[in-house]
Amino acid sequence: MKRLRFRLTAGFILVIMLVLIILGIYNAKLFEDTYIDTLSSRLEKEAMLISKSFNWESMIRKDYSTLARQVETWSASGEARVTIIDREGTVLADSEVSYQEMENHRSRAEVVQALQGETGTSLRYSHTTSKDTIYVAVPLYVKEDLAGVIRLAYPIQLAKTKVHQLWLGQFVALLIIFLLSSYIGSRIAKGLTGPIEKITEVARDITRQRFGTKISIEGKGEIAELARVINYMSENLEKQMRQIRENEKKLSDVLTNMFSGVILVDQHGHILLSNRASQQILNKTQADLIGRSYSEVTKNLDLRQWIEEVFRYKKGLRNELHLYYPEEKIVDTSLAPLFDEYNAFVGVVIVLHDITEIRRLEKIRSDFVANASHELKTPVTSIRGFTETLLDGAMYEEELLHSFLQIINKESERLQRLIDDILDLSKIEQKKLSLEVKPCHMESIINDVILHVQTDLEKKGIQFSSSIPGDLVIEADPDRLKQIFINLIVNAIQYTPENGKVWIETEVKEDKVIFAVCDTGVGIPKQDLRRVFERFYRVDKARSRHSGGTGLGLAIVKHLVESHHGRIWVESVEGKGSKFFVELTKENKKFS
Ligand SMILES: Nc1ncnc2c1ncn2[C@@H]1O[C@H](COP(=O)(O)OP(=O)(O)OP(=O)(O)O)[C@@H](O)[C@H]1O
Ligand SMILES: [Mg+2]
């Protein structure tokens, strides 16, 4: 911008200088011409006057001394050199040089003209006075006859000195004009470039996306108009940028919070974008992915091959991706080519959906159906077998009839229990179970449970004890609490040999209580500890089935505890006994 100002100012000065120089030269020339014109007309007038007052008698008499006096007088009054020349060109008198020394002047231009009756003028070097001289000659009449010429000469040097003085004066004047106009020119340049500088600065800010600065130029001129347009443009751009940023934020929020993983690969195979879910699914960090080539990022051959396919055929595809590290995952993967507005291929978008849990639930469901049908089949087969045997004739033997009917009764009871348990479990799993939460006095709950299992305890001669604080109250569904403890205590009795011990320990914490149902029974092998809560899982299938167990009890207990927002776990030493821990919160705010 400084350069523009300098160029403008320099341009102004140059133009002004040129104009002034031309004007100066023209003026000087004009002045010189005018001066010479004025001088020659003055000389002409003087010559005329002299010719009028000329004593022609002295000329006729050739009285040189009178003539000499005359020319001297005229010359003294008018500064010019006066020469009198006769018709033949002979010099009769001269105010500066002796007439005898002077040659014939007949051929001098001004004399030639004057002898023709006109005023003669000539500007030339005088050999007599050795100066540039202006000559004016007028004809001299004696009684209307041309008698000679009166010539006046004036050294041009004098005129030139005057012209030079004038030149100097003019130069000073022009210099002042020049300085003034240069100053004004530079002010005008500054006035012009100042706003342009401001506009440039603001425009530069706009390119750096700093929209705050505004140009403050008032007025009506083109530059003010430009400033207004730039301000308007800046405002509009700011609005648009804000809009773009908002949209980007919305998009990135959506992408970030999406459960599905999204990855964008550009046409060169570099990853442009990856959201949080995609990083979780692939077990990578943002830095592992962004800007890297997909082939170096994923070691999974399937995924690489699919991406390559989309690159090659520009067609979308969908597949199930199996990942094994760090854990096994099944990922529903959709790939689609991306095109720009001109339909040119610009990359691939990959959408990943972790369906491991869905697949696991599907498997559990199908396992459950298989297990349930298997479990149901056993008592049904048994009932059918005994019924057929009875029908085949055994019913006529009273003893057999009695014992078979007892078996059939037992099996149908087992069938009933199985169906009840399955229904119960499915109700709990589908969250259809409604809990009636109220404050439960734990000591009374456990007393009710003991009443329920009293006969079993007595049958096996098992000692029971519990250490529940008398004032312990927790918020829960009392019937479900009883169901939990009945299941645990029945198991403890079932898997404890005769004369063993079963007891309940209680640990009361600030807002939680941990109950432990303990026994001195057979215990659970280490490898089975994690699985006892699975549906239909039994450690010793034959014995458990013999004892009438379905393998659903602990699965139901686990669901019930979890629906109370509690936890259940087990510790056990094989051959020594087991401890089933149930942690429950005292105040179950989550229900309210
Ligand atoms: N206190 C315990 N001591 C030793 N093993 C146990 C104990 N409680 C449970 N188990 C083991 O865990 C398995 C699963 O128990 P669960 O209560 O779910 O089924 P179940 O007792 O066999 O049948 P039911 O559905 O009739 O209760 C049992 O078969 C048994 O092997
Ligand atoms: Mg059980």
Model confidence pLDDT, tens digit, residues 128-141:
778 888 899 999 88
Q: How does DSSP assign 517-582, residue by residue?
A: EEE-S----GGGTTTTTSTT--SSHHHHHHTT--S-HHHHHHHHHHHTT-EEEEEEETTTEEEEEE
- The pick from 423, 491, 501, 504 for probing ligand 1's pocket by mutation, whose C-beta has the most ligand atoms within 8 angstroms, reads 491
**Tokens representing residue 299 in the block:** 């070691």
Q: Cβ(496) to ligand 1 under 6 A? A: no
What is d(CA 45, CA 423) in angstroms, rounded to the nearest whole number? 149
- The pick from 422, 457, 518, 544 for probing ligand 1's pocket by mutation, whose C-beta has the most ligand atoms within 8 angstroms, reads 544
Residues 45 and 107 in one domain: no
- From start to end of 117-181, where are the E strands? 120-126, 131-142, 145-155
Atom of ligand 1 nearest to the CA of 521: 3
Residues 39 and 161 in one domain: yes
Residues 186 and 232 in one domain: yes
Burial class (CB in 10 A: 0-12, 13-18, 19+), 340: exposed
- Ligand nearest to the CA of residue 547, numbered in listed order: 1
Report the nearest-CA residue for atom 13 of ligand 1: 538
Kindly tell me if the per-residue pLDDT of 543 is higher than 60.
no
Q: How does DSSP assign 457-485, residue by residue?
A: HHHHT-EEEE---TT-EEEE-HHHHHHHH
- Ligand nearest to the CA of residue 545, numbered in listed order: 1
pLDDT of residue 545: 56
Measured in Å, residue 553 CA sits from the centre of ligand 1 at 7
Sheet holding 512-519, edge to edge: 463-466, 501-508, 512-519, 577-585, 567-573
Residues 450 and 581 in one domain: yes
Residues 320 and 449 in one domain: no
Q: Cβ(550) to ligand 1 under 6 A? A: yes
Burial class (CB in 10 A: 0-12, 13-18, 19+), 513: buried
The residues that bridge with 263 in the sheet, in sequence order, are: 274, 350
Q: Could you say which DSSP state residue 53 is in?
A: T
Atom of ligand 1 nearest to the CA of 537: 14
Q: Cβ(488) to ligand 1 under 6 A? A: no
Measured in Å, residue 551 CA sits from the centre of ligand 1 at 6
State which of 390, 410, 428 marks the end of a domain: 428
- Signed CA dihedral, 425, 426, 429, 432: sign only: negative
Measured in Å, residue 396 CA sits from the centre of ligand 2 at 38
Q: How far from 306 is each of 93, 263, 406, CA to CA, in Å?
A: 128, 14, 64
Asked if residues 103 and 114 have their Cβ atoms less than 8 Å apart, the reply is: no
Residues 448 and 570 in one domain: yes
Cis peptide before 326 (omega within 30 of 0): yes
What is d(CA 83, CA 128) in angstroms, rounded to the nearest whole number? 12
Residues 190 and 42 in one domain: yes
Kindly tell me if the per-residue pLDDT of 408 is higher than 90.
yes
Measured in Å, residue 370 CA sits from the centre of ligand 2 at 20
Kindly tell me if the per-residue pLDDT of 582 is higher than 90.
yes
- From start to end of 284-359, where are the E strands? 317-323, 329-339, 345-354
Question: How large a percentage of the chain has pLDDT more than 90?
Answer: 42
* pLDDT tens track for 57-114: 777 777 888 888 888 888 877 778 888 888 888 888 888 888 888 888 888 888 898 8
Residues 463 and 563 in one domain: yes
Asked if residues 120 and 131 have their Cβ atoms less than 8 Å apart, the reply is: no
Domain that holds residue 309: 261-354
> Which protein residues have a CB closer than 5 Å to ligand 2 (ion)?
491, 553
- The pick from 489, 527, 554, 582 for probing ligand 1's pocket by mutation, whose C-beta has the most ligand atoms within 8 angstroms, reads 554
Identify the weakest region by mean pLDDT among 52-61, 450-459, 463-472, 550-559. Answer: 52-61
CATH assignment at residue 558: 3.30.565.10
Q: Cβ(570) to ligand 1 under 6 A? A: no
CATH assignment at residue 368: 1.10.287.130
pLDDT of residue 546: 59
Asked if residues 331 and 263 have their Cβ atoms less than 8 Å apart, the reply is: no
Q: How far from 576 is each of 31, 34, 442, 458, 571, CA to CA, in Å?
A: 139, 143, 28, 21, 11
What is the rounded average pLDDT of the residues 324-339? Answer: 92
Instruction: Give me the chain's average pLDDT, please.
Output: 87
pLDDT of residue 268: 94
Measured in Å, residue 218 CA sits from the centre of ligand 1 at 92
What is d(CA 105, CA 339) in angstroms, rounded to the nearest whole number? 107
State which of 399, 428, 457 marks the end of a domain: 428
pTM attached to this predicted model: 0.52
What is d(CA 339, CA 307) in angstroms, rounded to the nearest whole number? 15
pLDDT-derived band of residue 447, with 50, 70 and 90 as boundaries?
A: very high
State which of 388, 410, 428 marks the end of a domain: 428
Asked if residues 99 and 93 have their Cβ atoms less than 8 Å apart, the reply is: yes
Q: How many angstroms separate the first and last alpha carbons of the chain?
A: 73
CATH assignment at residue 104: 3.30.450.20
Q: Cβ(519) to ligand 1 under 6 A? A: yes
Tell me, what amino acid is at 524? Answer: I
- The pick from 495, 535, 560, 579 for probing ligand 1's pocket by mutation, whose C-beta has the most ligand atoms within 8 angstroms, reads 495
Asked if residues 28 and 170 have their Cβ atoms less than 8 Å apart, the reply is: yes
What is d(CA 568, CA 491) in angstroms, rounded to the nearest whole number? 15
Report the nearest-CA residue for atom 10 of ligand 1: 491
pLDDT-derived band of residue 125, with 50, 70 and 90 as boundaries?
A: confident
pLDDT of residue 551: 85
- The pick from 376, 526, 532, 537 for probing ligand 1's pocket by mutation, whose C-beta has the most ligand atoms within 8 angstroms, reads 532
- Ligand nearest to the CA of residue 414, numbered in listed order: 1
* pLDDT tens track for 235-291: 898 899 999 999 999 988 998 899 999 999 999 999 999 999 999 999 999 999 999
* pLDDT tens track for 334-391: 999 999 999 999 999 999 999 999 998 888 888 888 888 888 888 899 999 999 999 9
Residues 101 and 166 in one domain: no
Identify the weakest region by mean pLDDT among 35-39, 194-198, 413-417, 587-591. Answer: 587-591
* pLDDT tens track for 477-526: 999 999 999 999 999 999 999 999 999 999 999 899 999 999 999 999 99
Residues 560 and 488 in one domain: yes
Measured in Å, residue 564 CA sits from the centre of ligand 1 at 22
Residues 369 and 507 in one domain: no
pLDDT of residue 335: 97
The residues that bridge with 580 in the sheet, in sequence order, are: 517, 570
Measured in Å, residue 376 CA sits from the centre of ligand 1 at 18
What is the rounded average pLDDT of the residues 299-313? Answer: 93
Residues 7 and 108 in one domain: no
Vertex 581: Cα angle to 519 and 590 (nearest 5): 150
Atom of ligand 1 nearest to the CA of 492: 1
What is d(CA 526, CA 441) in angstroms, rounded to the nearest whole number? 35
413: left (phi over 0), alpha (psi -120 to 50) or beta: alpha
What is d(CA 304, CA 497) in angstroms, rounded to the nearest whole number? 60
pLDDT-derived band of residue 592, with 50, 70 and 90 as boundaries?
A: very low
pLDDT-derived band of residue 13, with 50, 70 and 90 as boundaries?
A: confident
What is d(CA 108, CA 126) in angstroms, rounded to the nearest whole number? 11
**Which phi and psi angles does 589 have, rounded to 5°?**
-60, -30
What is d(CA 69, CA 78) in angstroms, rounded to the nearest whole number? 14
What total number of domains does the chain contain?
5
pLDDT of residue 505: 96
- From start to end of 326-472, where are the E strands? 329-339, 345-354, 438-441, 463-466
Report the nearest-CA residue for atom 23 of ligand 1: 549
What is d(CA 275, CA 252) in angstroms, rounded to the nearest whole number? 8
Q: Which residue has tokens 């008198």?
A: 93
